[in-house]
Amino acid sequence: MPAGKMESCASRCSEEFRRGAACQCDGRCARHGDCCEDYERLCAAEEDSEEPEPLLELEEDSEEAPASHLYSAPSSCQGRCHEAFDKHHPCHCNARCAEFGNCCSDFESLCAHEGFSRSSDAITKEELQSVSEKIYQADANKAQKEDIVLNSQNRISPSETGDQVDRCPEPLFTYVNEKLFSKPTYAAFINLLNNYQRATGHGEHFNSQQLAEQDTFLREVMKTAVMKELYRFLHHQNRYSSEKEFVDDLKNMWFGLYSRGGEEGDSSGFEHVFSGEVKKGKVTGFHNWIRFYMQEKEGLVDYYSHIYDGPWDSYPDVLAMQFNWDGYYKEVGSAFIGSSPEFEFALYTLCFIARPGKECRLSLGGYPLAIQTYTWDKTTYGNGKKYIATAYVVSSTQ
């Protein structure tokens, strides 16, 4: 598609759905397969696709194909390999459909011989569900039911998340057994949380102790059954030849610095996902229950409401909530509750490697769960590898 007035995302990032436009630049276009070709390059990394997060939305967008579009849209790639993008088709057969996750089911079998590369080493949905169940079972450091008492209070509808109304007078956490925090991975994780400036646009500068704390965290999580299970799986998939190669890559993808707000090296995947950031007056990232509890205990987090409480009757569970962080609002913040640091670290890493920039469908204790990751596309490390921009739970339905 040539870049024209209405066929590019230049100056259109974050705009609302524009009926009649040849392609779209709103935060939901990737899900609906109608993004302009330069959407990811111009918009995805800048916006992190996080504000607001499309978590557990109960309804799809109301926009549909115009009534004049009366032919039956093809659902196969038969005779369509390399065809131009058409937003009215339910699935696609162009070179970028895999990137956006909207290929027709027979794309690989019909189009691989047409010059597309066949993903012979791709991790399947079934493999993801199998390894995620193994990781779930391996989380020996998770909280037990008696370790955490939650007071989730009022649940609201997704349409109310923008109201910024505090509907819960009590804190979210009534009780947490802080003996959990003396476990090696918890202690190493907590030591990292205060190493960051939350406002984007301020460069991060680590001293020798803070750098050592990153290494300590990686060393401690790699001792756990959770991360051993993840490495065993990725090694079997020929993604890493040695544990050292894996750990080195973890340090780069999670702790490597990039510029999210204009200042060189002001952000990282770990800071964004686990510690939380503030950008343009809003909370971004901040998807960790330990961080939430500790900030709430200090009086810095005010829990407002939630839109989703997961189906699990033990920990880890999932909660999608609204809160105020020291004067800044989070419209939809999803977080595992009661999981160990290594559990979240493992699942987000798994999904970033297996489904970068896409929805990653897992299974935990027999229940479906989906995680969305996004890559940071403006800068790379190593031989063109990408940093983690964000990772968070987006749904529990399949």
For the annotated catalytic residues, the residue numbers are: 272, 287, 330
| Cβ contacts of 90 within 8 Å, gap of 6 or more | 73, 75
Please give the helix or strand (H or E) that residue 121 lies within, else none: none
Q: Residue 251 and residue 236: Cα distance in Å, rounded? A: 21
Q: Amino acid identity of 148?
A: I
Q: Amino acid identity of 334?
A: S
Q: Residue 300 and residue 302: Cα distance in Å, rounded? A: 7
Which token pair is 68? 């004049």
Helix 184-193, helix 208-221: angle, nearest 10: 150
Q: How far is CA 169 from CA 71, 145, 317, 323, in A?
A: 54, 24, 22, 12
Q: How far is CA 255 from CA 213, 246, 270, in A?
A: 11, 14, 6
* C-alpha torsion sign, points 223, 225, 231, 232: positive
Cis ω before 368 (30° cut-off from 0): no
Which token pair is 256? 């490597």
Question: Please, which residues bridge with residue 384 across strands?
Answer: none
Instruction: Identify whether the C-beta of residue 315 lies closer than 8 Å to the C-beta of residue 148.
Output: yes
